[in-house]
Amino acid sequence: MLIPQAYAQTAGQQPQGGGLFLPLMMVGILLFMYFTTIRPQRKRQKEHAAMVTALKKGDEVALSSGMLGKISGLDDNYLLLSVGNNVELKFQKVHVTSVLPKGTLKSVGVESA
């Protein structure tokens, strides 16, 4: 015949601990990802949600766009922000990045007369 018969090689020794290494490594990577990315992000989301729910009329805030102002009105999802003399703008609450200490806007010259 043109094709010689192939013979199976005898099995060598199995590598030591080869069956558990891959699953343990995958679990380790998942734990690392959880503690370095997922858990801190959830903590920041909870802190931001608590800050947004604690907003009240008269608070001075900074928005994600960089705008500063004093809250002059609130409803469930929106806030009315006083940014100057008789200038009020409506924004979504989720865009508030921080609540400023009282009197901050006067020191920066933003406070309306």
Token duo for residue 69: 């102002």
Token duo for residue 54: 């604690």
103 neighbors 88 (Cβ within 8 angstroms)? no
Residue 25 is which amino acid?
M
Q: Tell whether 68 and 91 lie within a shared domain.
A: yes
Asked if residue 13 belongs to a domain, the reply is no
Q: What pTM, to 2 d.p., does this model score?
A: 0.69
Q: How far apart are CA 70 and CA 80, in angstroms?
A: 8
Asked if residue 75 belongs to a domain, the reply is yes
pLDDT score of 105: 84
Per-residue pLDDT band for 14 (boundaries 50, 70, 90) equals low
Q: How many domains does the chain have?
A: 2
Asked if residue 7 belongs to a domain, the reply is no
Residue 82: closest CA among 51, 53, 111, 55 = 111
Q: What is the pLDDT of residues 55-113, one digit of tens each?
A: 999 999 999 999 999 999 999 999 999 988 889 999 999 999 999 998 888 866 665 54
Asked if residue 66 belongs to a domain, the reply is yes
Q: Tell whether 61 and 29 lie within a shared domain.
A: no
Q: How far apart are CA 82 and CA 80, in angstroms?
A: 7
